[in-house]
Amino acid sequence: MDSKLDNIDRNILKTLQDNGRISITDLSQAVNLSKTPCAERVKRLEKSGFIKGYRAELNARNLGLPYITFVQVTMERTTTDVLERFNSAIKRIPEVESCHMIAGGFDYLLKVRTRDMEHYRKVLGDNIGELPGVASTHTYPVMQTVQDNKGVNALMF
């Protein structure tokens, strides 16, 4: 937790995370602060990097992309050059929603979003499996999403 954040800053961040389209008037009321100081705090939080941006949360099912698969990727080698080439190449696969380097029994964990299993199979064979340095993959299709928190847990800050 950053010591530069007071309780009002934390309340602003939580409120904006819940509703990024809230007006400054409504935000200032929600955090019990007048409009001008509230707007100044928001600008400071943006400038200092606590707020990275604002975006709309899209409904993947309505967009025809309901299928989620997690993929463990094991690399042939984990030298800096191999990892950098993989990191660069993975960003060019639009179906890869997130990619995390993992410390443990494998090297990367991917979240892949596709239309269906056939679409996923094509992404795996044509894209993921052809990435530089990939030795093996293990696929875990999602049967049900129980919780998918899109923000930082308020209890953590």
CATH number at residue 132: 3.30.70.920
pTM of this structure: 0.85
pLDDT tens-digit profile, the chain (157 residues): 455 899 999 999 999 999 999 999 999 999 999 999 999 999 999 999 999 999 988 999 999 999 999 999 999 999 999 999 999 999 999 999 999 999 999 999 999 999 999 999 999 999 999 999 999 999 999 999 999 877 787 555 5
- Overall domain count for the chain: 2
Do residues 117 and 75 share a domain?
Answer: yes
- Cα 107 to Cα 3, 58, 74: the distances in Å are 34, 29, 5
- 61 occurs within a structural domain: no
